[in-house]
Amino acid sequence: GAVVSQHPSWVICKSGTSVKIECRSLDFQATTMFWYRQFPKQSLMLMATSNEGSKATYEQGVEKDKFLINHASLTLSTLTVTSAHPEDSSFYICSAKKPGHPWDSTEAFFGQGTRLTVV
Amino acid sequence: GIQVEQSPPDLILQEGANSTLRCNFSDSVNNLQWFHQNPWGQLINLFYIPSGTKQNGRLSATTVATERYSLLYISSSQTTDSGVYFCAVGPYNQGGKLIFGQGTELSVKP
């Protein structure tokens, strides 16, 4: 397998503040990572694809100015929820794929997730 | 976009029973994975199975790519098997992203 670590596991913040979530691949280099969001009792929805050294690709309906993604290195991607509001409260989870050929057919591994509560 | 349907949405079993979870998808894929989400939200990788059959202990999975479905078998279920099981597929040429089904919530009673 492969290890993907996410930090923090949970965070409570005040409405209007920003929160940064980190996603690290610990034992492999990941040129691409993915960010998902999960509301209670629902499935995981892809928010964006994080590309090392270039801009993230956002799914339709996801506000890029609200959810800032930075892929600073081959092992780290960050998601910043800016000016958070109660409706942003959710479970955020990242994933990364090990290199392979063809790359897009390789197995994905997930971090442990971050539970964000905005009060 | 590709549609992923899982059935049943909910399943209640007595400990020791067997079960089959199904995942149908609407287009060709080059990745299919099964996950178990634990009570803390962590996704546990069960199988990476774009085609064929695999077994791991009491769990096994089969994907028939040409017919666009996958099955997850749980034998001799235990209370620790409870939780949500997700199927996720990776469409061709879409950068490696996964599209998740709605999940099957399994509850195993002692």
Contact between B70 and B87 under an 8 Å Cβ cutoff? The reply is yes
Q: Which residues of chain B have pLDDT under 50?
A: none
Kindly report, residue by residue over A23-66, the tens digit of the pLDDT: 999 998 888 899 999 999 999 999 999 988 889 999 999 999 99
The interface residues of chain B toward chain A in range 8-67, judged by CB-CB distance below 8 A, are 30-31, 33, 35, 40-43, 45, 48, 50
pLDDT at A101: 65
d(CA A27, CA A16): 36
Instruction: Sort out which chain B residues have CB atoms less than 8 A from A1's CB and list them.
Output: 45
Contact between A95 and A114 under an 8 Å Cβ cutoff? The reply is no
d(CA A57, CA B35): 25
Chain B interface includes A108 (CB < 8 A): yes
Chain B interface includes A35 (CB < 8 A): no
How would you label B71-107 residue by residue, b for 16+ Cβ within 10 Å and e otherwise? bbebeebeeebbbbbbbbbbbeebebbbbbbbbbbbe
pLDDT at B52: 97
Instruction: Sort out which chain A residues have CB atoms less than 8 A from B101's CB and list them.
Output: 43
Beta strands in A31-107 (DSSP E): 32-38, 44-51, 57-58, 67-73, 76-81, 90-97
Which residue is closest to B36 within chain A, CA to CA? A110
Which residue is it, tokens 């599209």?
B99
pLDDT at A19: 98
Chain B interface includes A61 (CB < 8 A): no
d(CA A64, CA B95): 18
Kindly report, residue by residue over A65-115, the tens digit of the pLDDT: 999 999 989 999 999 999 999 999 999 999 998 777 666 678 899 999 999
pLDDT at A10: 97
Instruction: Sort out which chain A residues have CB atoms less than 8 A from B31's CB and list them.
Output: 104-108
Please list the residues that pair with A92 across neighbouring strands.
A37, A114
Partner-chain contact B95 A95, CB within 8 Å: no
pLDDT at A72: 85
